């Protein structure tokens, strides 16, 4: 029983920490006037966050993921549809998985 | 912000909400396998179904859940789990302010729920819409609801099916979550000025991931290094 309570405590703690991240950054920036430098930084964040997230995962993933990534990017560039890009990305990775 | 939106024209309409809902389904489906994996891991660590649902409803950040679960013990490692959530999700603190042009103009209740469900894919689509001059903050809310519901459901399905499913960890289906993040990079690309910041972000993230394996500092480090590079380049113009 106490074991289960500790699970709930850990989940509640994680939820609060995540909430602090979600609200904390917004709260802070709403209270300061960002300098032009900070505004420029924020404008670059969307792309750089995704690059930082994706690059190590791709390098770790190997050829199967690289083929899938190339398919997803090509589909997104030419079809401009997120569902198609994800589907073709998985299809590409799957094709490589079956062939290799 | 670099959008053409003027703060006074921000609205929150039903039409915008539905437009977001209609754009969210491919993402909700793509994140399904990711949710499935999280559910399977939660089951394998001996947590209850209630734990699984609470975790995914209130933490709702898969990467941090996987990191914390990797080192789960009984009784639970409370401090380590909290630290994992904080470090992996620190990027969310950087993401919130980017939505400020929309969030500052809606009601506090709408703002609370918008931030409560802040996650990477819906945020990226909202930022893309904002950059194109989008002024309807309900678009982001419409994106968020199916993603959140889909996440809670897919992780629960994973939990319940854990003993029957036997997918190897390198199964191509699990590539769907990464594929969605990669595809979302395409509309975020604004032109040549993005090249250097993106390269720096990827390079720094790769190095930090090598130096500190098993942690997630690499996301925050790469994102900050890339963005600072971009801001310095703008400053020199």
Q: What is the pLDDT of residues B29-67, one digit of tens each?
A: 888 888 988 998 899 889 999 999 999 999 999 888 987
Cα–Cα distances (Å) from B105 to A24, A97, B10, B138, B189, in that order, read: 18, 48, 6, 11, 27
SS3 B235: helix
Looking at residue B63, its pLDDT comes to 83
- Count CB-CB contacts under 10 A for residue B173: 16
Query: Would the pLDDT of B16 be above 50?
Result: yes
- The pLDDT tens digits for B188-217 are 999 999 999 999 999 999 999 999 886 778
Q: Is B4 on the interface with A (CB under 8 A)?
A: no
Which one-letter DSSP state was computed for residue B191? S
Return the top range by mean pLDDT from B91-95, B163-167, B212-216: B91-95
Query: Would the pLDDT of B168 be above 80?
Result: no
Write out the H or E segment, with its range, that includes residue B90. Answer: helix B78-95
CB-CB under 8 Å, B74 with A72: no
Looking at residue B3, its pLDDT comes to 45
For A90, the closest of B51, B175, B187 (CB atoms) is B175
Q: Is B87 on the interface with A (CB under 8 A)?
A: no
The answer to whether residues B85 and B64 touch, using CB atoms and an 8 Å cutoff, is yes
For B97, the closest of A37, A42, A64 (CB atoms) is A42
CA dist B213 and B76 (Å) reads 22
Query: Would the pLDDT of B1 be above 50?
Result: no
Looking at residue A28, its pLDDT comes to 92
CB-CB under 8 Å, B86 with A9: no
CA dist B74 and A4 (Å) reads 9
Q: Is B188 on the interface with A (CB under 8 A)?
A: yes
CB-CB under 8 Å, B68 with A53: no
Task: Give the residue from chain B lying closest to A72, CA to CA.
Answer: B183
DSSP string, B199-231: HHHHHHHHHHHHHSTTS-HHHHHHHHHHHHHHH
CB-CB under 8 Å, B221 with A55: no
**Which of A54-63, A67-76, B115-124, B172-181 bottoms out in mean pLDDT, i.e. has the lowest?**
B172-181
Tell me whether 0.85 is exceeded by the ipTM.
yes
CA dist B119 and B96 (Å) reads 10
CB-CB under 8 Å, A68 with B172: yes
Residues of B in contact with A52 (CB under 8 A): 201-202, 204-205, 218-223, 226
Give residue for tokens 């039409």.
Answer: B15
Residues of A in contact with B196 (CB under 8 A): none
CA distance B15 to chain A (A): 21
- Among A86, A89, A93, A97, most B C-beta atoms within 10 A, so best to mutate, is A86
Share of chain B above pLDDT 90, in %: 61
- Count CB-CB contacts under 10 A for residue B22: 11
For A14, the closest of B85, B103, B173 (CB atoms) is B85
Return the domain boundaries, chain B: 10-188, 190-237
């Amino acid at each position: 029983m106490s074991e289960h309570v500790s699970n709930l405590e850990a989940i509640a703690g994680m939820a609060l920490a995540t909430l602090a991240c979600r609200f904390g950054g917004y709260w802070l920036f709403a209270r300061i006037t960002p300098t032009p430098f900070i505004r420029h930084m924020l404008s670059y964040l969307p792309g750089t966050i995704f690059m930082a997230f994706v690059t190590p995962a791709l390098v770790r993933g190997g050829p199967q993921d690289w083929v899938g990534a190339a398919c997803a990017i090509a589909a997104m560039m030419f079809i401009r549809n997120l569902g198609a890009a994800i589907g073709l990305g998985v299809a590409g990775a799957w094709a490589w998985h079956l062939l290799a | 912000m670099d959008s053409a939106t003027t703060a006074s024209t921000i609205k929150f309409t039903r039409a915008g909400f539905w437009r977001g809902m209609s754009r969210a389904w491919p993402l909700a489906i793509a994140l399904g396998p990711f949710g499935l994996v999280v559910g399977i891991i939660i089951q394998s660590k001996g947590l209850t179904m209630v734990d699984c649902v609470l975790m995914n409803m209130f933490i709702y950040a898969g990467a941090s859940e996987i990191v914390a679960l990797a080192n789960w013990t009984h009784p639970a490692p409370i401090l380590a789990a909290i630290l994992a959530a904080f470090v992996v999700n620190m990027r969310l603190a950087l993401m919130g302010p980017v939505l400020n042009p929309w969030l500052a103009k809606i009601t506090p209740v709408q703002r609370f729920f918008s931030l409560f469900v802040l996650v990477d894919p819906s945020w990226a689509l909202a930022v893309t819409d904002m950059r194109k001059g989008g002024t309807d903050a309900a678009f982001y809310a419409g994106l968020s609801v199916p993603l959140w519901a889909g996440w809670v459901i897919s992780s629960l399905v994973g939990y319940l099916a854990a003993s029957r499913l036997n997918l190897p960890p390198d199964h191509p289906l699990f590539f769907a979550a990464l594929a969605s993040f990669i595809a979302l990079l395409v509309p975020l690309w604004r032109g040549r000025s993005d090249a250097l910041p993106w390269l720096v972000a990827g390079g720094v993230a790769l190095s930090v991931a090598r130096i500190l394996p098993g942690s997630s500092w690499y996301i925050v480090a790469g994102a900050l290094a890339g963005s600072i590079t971009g801001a310095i380049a703008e400053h020199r113009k």
